[in-house]
């Protein structure tokens, strides 16, 4: 495995592999790798000749009051994990290289980015879309692998790739959870022991919603989300941002759960903001 810090070098390497007829898989990350990231690496190794993993904590997707400075980082650890899973290259550029002086061009979405995460983090998706567009242009992958935990982000990036005619296909892979059901996230490292126990209520709330929707069928989404809000707010250490139901493709809010639908949740537990979701497949 090779670590590449130069944009020009990464591009030359990718071009060389593409000219040789090799398929490139790409896993974009902000580092502090966990089993969720590694599952994406494994999938890329299965489906491609070459796998590139990027590590870049992107400042433009953090608001001034968010956790950019405290976001967990450990590059040497990440490098070893990536090598152990067979990554061919780790792309590790600096902020100065990715955002040189006088950088002024950004990618924005007009639809899905305005709701849910976009409401609570108004500049977030602008930063995400911009950095991923840049990474795709540098790495030039055939397939990019994303995790379902960031479902809204995955939907927006898939729409960007289609709208802007990128050659890169997007594959969204299932949420990976720990033994107690907590969705894996780099931010989990910042949870205290008590916060971790409290955070398990997010998964329990989603499971409750999934069971109700799938057992009863044709459930009214507003009634369901009110029921789930009442359930989770009984746990005083959770500050809920939202619980919502959204169509898995369009992210529009259905009146009733009749088709494949996300139940999504975002909440602060202690000092850590967590998101999670589950897919509901109602009975026909």
Catalytic residue among 17, 34, 37, 124: 37
Q: Is 256 helix (H, G, I), strand (E, B) or coil?
A: strand
Predicted pLDDT of residue 284: 65
Half-sphere exposure of 37 (CA within 13 A, CB side): 24
Bridge partners, 255 (sequence order): none
| Per-position DSSP letters for 122-189, written without gaps between them | TTHHHHHHHHHHHHHHHH--SEEEEEGGGHHHHHHHHHHHHHTT-S-EEEEE---B-TTSPBP-GGGG
| Per-position DSSP letters for 37-96, written without gaps between them | HHHHHHHHHHH-SEEEEEE---GGGS-TTSSTTTS---HHHHHHHHHHTT-SEEE---HH
From residue 219, how far is each of 215, 222, 224, 232 by CA, in Å? 10, 9, 7, 19
For residues 16 and 35, is the Cβ–Cβ distance under 8 A?
Answer: no
Virtual torsion, Cα 139, 14, 6, 155, nearest 10 deg: 10
Virtual torsion, Cα 212, 199, 153, 128, nearest 10 deg: 170
What does the alpha-carbon distance between residue 65 and residue 62 come to, in Å, rounded to a whole number?
A: 8
Bridge partners, 238 (sequence order): 269
Predicted pLDDT of residue 218: 76
Predicted pLDDT of residue 47: 98
Predicted pLDDT of residue 217: 74
| Domains delineated in the chain | 2-173 (3.40.50.620), 186-277 (3.30.1300.10)
34 is an active site residue = no
Predicted pLDDT of residue 99: 98
What does the alpha-carbon distance between residue 185 and residue 204 come to, in Å, rounded to a whole number?
A: 17
Mean pLDDT per block of 10 residues along the chain (284 residues) reads 98 98 98 98 98 98 94 97 97 98 96 94 96 98 98 96 98 98 96 96 97 87 96 88 95 92 97 97 77
Residues near 36 by beta carbon (within 8 Å), at least 6 away in sequence:
147, 149, 175, 176, 183, 184, 185
Q: Is 240 helix (H, G, I), strand (E, B) or coil?
A: strand
Q: Could you say which DSSP state residue 204 is in?
A: H
> How many Å separate Cα 279 from the centre of its chain?
15
């Amino acid at each position: 495995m090779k670590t590449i810090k130069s944009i020009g070098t990464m591009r030359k390497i990718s071009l060389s592999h593409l000219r040789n007829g090799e398929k490139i898989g790409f896993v974009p990350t902000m580092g502090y790798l966990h089993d969720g990231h590694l599952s994406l690496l494994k999938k890329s190794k299965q489906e491609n000749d070459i796998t590139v993993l990027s590590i870049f904590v992107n400042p433009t997707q953090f608001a001034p009051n968010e956790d950019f400075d405290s976001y967990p980082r450990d590059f040497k650890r990440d490098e070893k994990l990536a090598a152990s899973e067979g990554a061919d290259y780790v792309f590790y550029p600096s902020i100065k290289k990715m955002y040189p002086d006088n950088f002024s061009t950004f990618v924005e979405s007009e639809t899905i980015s305005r709701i849910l995460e976009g409401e609570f983090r108004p500049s977030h998706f602008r930063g995400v879309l911009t950095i991923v567009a840049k990474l795709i242009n540098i790495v030039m992958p055939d397939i990019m692998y994303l995790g379902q935990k960031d479902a809204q982000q995955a939907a927006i990036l898939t729409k960007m790739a289609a709208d802007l005619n990128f050659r890169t296909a997007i594959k969204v892979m299932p949420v990976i959870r720990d033994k107690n059901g907590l969705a894996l996230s780099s931010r989990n490292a910042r949870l205290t022991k008590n916060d971790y126990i409290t955070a398990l209520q997010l998964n329990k709330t989603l499971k409750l919603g999934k069971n109700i929707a799938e057992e009863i069928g044709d459930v009214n989404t507003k009634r369901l989300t009110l029921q789930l809000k009442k359930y989770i707010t009984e746990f005083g250490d959770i500050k809920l941002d939202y619980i919502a139901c959204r169509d898995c493709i369009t992210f529009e809010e259905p009146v009733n759960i009749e088709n494949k639908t996300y139940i999504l949740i975002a909440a602060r537990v202690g000092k850590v903001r967590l998101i999670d979701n589950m897919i509901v497949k109602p009975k026909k």
